[in-house]
Structure 1
Amino acid sequence: MKFTKNHEWIKKESKYAYIGITDYAQQQLGDIVYVDLAEEDLVLQQGDVLCAVESVKTAAEVFMPVSGMVVEVNHDLEEAPEKINESPYEAYLAKITIDDESELDGLMTEDEYNEFLESEAE
């Protein structure tokens, strides 16, 4: 699993990858009440807006950690967006194909992400 400075995670499995928001992100958002999911078959570049997550406090955009195509979205979140709060690393937002796997190299490992969070807290 890799992480971004915008608090997205990406987990590669075989030829696909899953994208979601981190535990830190869901804690900052508070109770999530709505997810505006991406369109399937949408082609996006690294840094493009993938979807939006709304909580009782605010709304946040979720960005593509890598370039690729959305092949599936997690429709369970339409009925139960709170799954992101309950299990942020299981409740993926989108399943994608990756255009350029070398983009993963520019993302943070779990240790690097934890160090990033600590430096942000200072």
Structure 2
Amino acid sequence: MSVPEHLLYTKEHEWVELKEDYAIIGITDYAQSQLGDVIFVEFPETGADIGCGTPFGEVEAVKTVSDLFAPLSGKVLSINEAIESAPDLVNSDPYNKGWLIKISPSKYEEKKDLMSANEYKNFIS
């Protein structure tokens, strides 16, 4: 199970990559393996405000439908449009080509509630 060291994680199995002025959000390798084959992702609108801990979309897989929870508050800058035509990227490459949204975080202090890679590894084991 892949858990990249440079990312931060939530208990709902989202990951966050913090950049200088934006953050990239996706679901973890563990999450995609539990969901099974992803067939559709419901995204928020570009420009929408999302709140930390609140649902911002859904992942529909063969096994189930699961809410996506925002790890940080902010404004949606972009969605990964490649997922719309190839949702299986969430399964095959969850940390790179399978990212979901980019946001402009409004409350960087919320990152203190996220887990490091080691904490997340312990959480899922």
TM-score of the pair, normalised by structure 1 = 0.94
Are 1:4 and 2:7 matched, yes or no?
no
Q: Please state if 1:17 is matched with 2:17.
A: no
- Distance in 2 separating the partners of 1:105 and 1:57: 32
Q: How does 1:1-122 map to 2 (within 5 A)?
A: 1-90=7-96, 91-118=98-125
Pairwise CA distance, 1:13: 1.3
Q: What is the rounded CA distance, in whole Å, between the counterparts of 1:63 and 1:78 in structure 2?
A: 19
Structure 1, unmatched stretches of 5+, are none
Alignment TM-score, normalising by the size of structure 2: 0.92
Q: Identity percentage over the alignment? A: 41
The C-alpha deviation readout for 1:14-39, integer Å capped at 9, x for no partner, is 20100000000000000001111111
- Kindly report structure 1 stretches of 4+ aligned residues shifted beyond 6 Å: none
Please tell me the residue identity of whatever aligns with 1:69: K
* Counterpart code for 2:99: Y
Q: Deviations over 1:45-66 (max 9, x none)?
A: 1011111110111110100001
Separation (CA, whole Å) in 1 of partners of 2:68 and 2:50: 12
Segments of structure 2 that go 5 or more residues without pairing to the other structure are: 1-6
Q: How many correspondences in the alignment?
A: 118
